[in-house]
Amino acid sequence: MGKITFIEHDSTEHIAEFESGSSLMQVAVNNAVPGIDGDCGGECACGTCHVIVTDEWFGKTGEINDAEEQMLSMTPERAETSRLGCQIRTTEAMDGMTVLLPEFQM
């Protein structure tokens, strides 16, 4: 159990509680955070759960595989610490993490 803060493009903050093991996308969806859709349910098939992890937390979010990299490479608002939320498996080490949401999902 921990907390992750999602910050919308307009700076609105949402603090979401999470259980380790669920995906970051699911954490956002379970807490009705606007700006993260996750339409495909976490299959890395739609590209609608783009998040930008704050620099200091990026290293804790795991590796980006080829499919995710390809999806991100065409995502508008791509940043160096961009991830697809469905590909981040939450761990206890992410308690207190802050992630930013883009203005638009694709």
Q: Which is nearer to other proteins, 15 or 45 (CB)?
A: 45
**Residue (71 or 94) nearer to other proteins, CB:** 71
Q: How far apart are CA 38 and CA 85, in angstroms?
A: 8
Query: What is the smallest separation between the CB atom of 1 and other proteins, expressed in angstroms?
Result: 15
Q: Which of residues 2-31 bind other proteins (CB under 8 A)?
A: 29-31
Report the 10 Å Cβ neighbour count for 33: 23
Residues of this chain that interact with other proteins (CB under 8 A) are: 29-34, 37, 39-41, 43-47, 67-68, 70-71, 73-75, 106
